[in-house]
Amino acid sequence: MVAKSTLFRRLYSVCMRHFSSDSMSFKFSANLAFMFSEFPSMVERYDAAKAAGFKYVESAFPYLEPLESVQNAIEKSGLEQVLINAWPGDLSKGDLGIAALPDRQEEFESKLNLTLEYAKALKCKRIHVMAGMKPNNFDETEMEKTFIKNITLAAKRFEPEGITCVIEPLNSRITAPRYFLTDINKAVEIIKKINRPNLKLQFDFFHVQIMEGNLTKTLEKYLPYVGHIQIAQVPDRGEPDRQGEINYTYVFELLQKLKYDGYIGLEYKPRGNTVEGLKWLKDYGLQIDQGRERIPCPINPKHTCYKDSVEKHLKKCRKQQKELPIPLKDFSTKELQDLIEKVHKLYDEHVTRIDEEILSHHCLDEELSNESYGIPAIRHRKQQASLVGQLQRLDLLHEGLCFVELGAGKGNLSHWIQQALPDKSDLGFVLVDYGHVRYKADNKHKWSDTGPKFERLCINIADLNLEKVESISANQRPVVAVGKHLCGGATDFALRCVTKTLNVQKFEERTSQPEEKKFKSENHDSHPRPCLAGITIALCCHHRCTWETYVGKEFIKNCGLSHREFTLLCKLSGWTAATWTGWKTKEEMYREINRGNSSIDTECKTENKNNADNVSDERDSSSQTEDKNTTVDQSINSNDFEEHQDSEQPFSRSDLQLSASQREEIGRKCKRLIDIGRVHYLRNCGLQSQLKTYIEEKLTPENVIIVAKSQT
């Protein structure tokens, strides 16, 4: 069963992504026709919006209150009225605007005076002119003519006052079945035809999703015509974080990318108390723009900060500047030479033979025999088959366990683990991923209560406390942590998460690691802490590791390496790409495997040459053009290919006089030292842990996993 991300956020109160060095700020306006319904009068709602932190408000029908009382309310609150609707007609009789109704032309013209009176008194610079409902026996052509005439008149009347006229297509499937203007394309055609500078489009994500869909392209296409935006979830018109059709995390990222700086009206129906419902802003890493002035950052002018909190911002910004990656050119030749000498010595001291266990499992036999798959698809299936085989070898593939897949993507690894135990129902699956993917694999596991439960959590692993996941704590199944797409520091977050938030034998006695992140437990008495049974994680992207996230600090310090040297160690791990080549065709792969010669040097087999995955993927991609049979399975997305674009730039330090093979050897040893530090961390936590080569290096140079198991 797929968990609702909204429920998870409510239970664990963790923030989602922060889009910049400060929380991203939009000019959100509270729609008083929908929000703060706890207060019966419009006057009270202004005060409530102010108390909730809003600077901007909008109201559909201020005409329901005397103008003087509304004007006094907004002046007292100090809020800014950014939008009202034009006179709507008789709401009690079902009117929803009258601009397109031919028989109410005079009424529309006369009520424009009232509309302007309210707008000027409230200092409102946007007016939404509503089209109205189609009457019986309506004439579409006549209604359009009337609408164009009246909108032209309104725009002309509004222009001297500096007021923008906006029109909005509503949906006819849920909200207003007989509304005249429902097509956003038609609305923009009318705007183009009238061609007035103060006539704009009101883009409501709720209505557009229901009628048009394709939100990204539609917004990008019509953004130049947009004068106001409104948001709500589909289909219940609730808060953006409600379970529904629109991914608002993506929407806010898109608006930021498109540099939208207008107002965003919160035209939604709160699920309960309005203020409590505003927690979604924090969950999305957002702030309500309270009208504070923003200025360029004095340190980095590429971003801005609030003028009245410059010092607070500078403190954070300076810290981030210190954490920026150091270019390789900033290290002196002597520093590089000294570290390379240390790497050779430490490798000989601490890295013993890495066992090669290239395993498989019958659950993927059919997939692996599919002749239509190319090398990239085969690689992933072989990785999954070996990971499942490793679990079986560790006796971690049986009933009564909860498998937590960290960095799950589509959850394919969990899918194959379940397929390896097809008749077992006493299982749990928790899929943790921060990205936005289409959960196709999840659909394979929607069955009755008799089957295993698949739960998905959308959260940064750094914020994850497995002890607080209800399905884990309530069922008390031992947890097996697995992962295939954990890049660099994400691996360290994962190891810290499972050892700090689950019960590990002798953990409290044996670990001496500093606790960079504290995890609080609220209900120790209701359930004992769930146990960690084991770990199987494929390693990659060592160049992305950072000192701040790394779990093996104690090992690195004991080796006599500094923080700066660890940073250089991670950068040199990218040198592994110097000479690696993989199989270019399936025929070549099968030929070498069948004759028992994978063309890998014996020393490389035992010590495991590694490399950044992006080189592997580039060669895999080129092989698809060379071999007609190497068709990639369409169900695999970019996450499955582990495309990492941030690896070290091509080597250009001629002063070191290192050959490609020497650089590769140094890079490989750097990776293994980083990984051995992780092994030491897990052993200090009371786990049996080691590194293994789990797949052929000619399929991917990132072919090492870290495994760990409880000693009981």
Active site residues: 168, 267
> Residue 165 pairs with which residues in a beta bridge?
127, 199
CA distance 483 to 478: 17
Contact 235, 421 (CB under 8 A): no
Cα(614)–Cα(621) distance, integer angstroms: 10
* Closest residue by Cα to residue 20 from 237, 303, 221: 303
Closest of 536, 538, 526, 535 to residue 467, by C-alpha: 526
CA distance 360 to 66: 76
- The span from the CA of 367 to the CA of 386, in Å, is 13
For 520-590, strand residue ranges (E) read 532-538
What is the C-alpha to C-alpha distance for residues 109 and 291, in angstroms, rounded to an integer? Answer: 35
What strand order describes the sheet that includes 453-457? 355-356, 687-693, 704-710, 532-538, 479-483, 402-406, 428-432, 453-457
Closest CA to 455 of 528, 398, 403: 403
Burial of 528 (0-12, 13-18, 19+ CB in 10 A): exposed
Cis? peptide before 528, omega within 30° of 0: no
What is the Cα–Cα distance from 327 to 95, expressed in whole angstroms? 65
- Is residue 661 within 8 A of residue 335, CB to CB? The reply is no
- The CB-side HSE value for 531 (13 A sphere, CA atoms) comes to 15
Question: In sequence order, what DSSP letters do the residues of 461-477 get, joined into one string?
Answer: GGG--GGG-HHHHHH-P
Residues 676 and 691 sit within 8 Å (Cβ to Cβ): yes
DSSP 62: G
Side-chain-side CA neighbours of 294 within 13 Å: the count stands at 15
Distance CA 608, CA 693 (A): 7
- Location of structure tokens 């006599």: 560
Q: Are 443 and 473 spatial neighbours (Cβ–Cβ below 8 Å)?
A: no
Checking DSSP bridges between strand 304-306 and strand 294-296, what pairing results, if any?
antiparallel
Q: In this structure, what DSSP letter does residue 623 have?
A: H
The length of the chain, given as a count of residues: 712
H, E, C per residue of 353-418: CCEECCCCCHHHHHHHCCCCECHHHHHHHHHHHHHHHHHHHCCCCCCCCEEEEECCCCCHHHHHHH
Burial of 694 (0-12, 13-18, 19+ CB in 10 A): buried
Judged by DSSP in three states, 82 sits in: strand
Which DSSP helix (H) or strand (E) runs through 72? Answer: helix 67-77
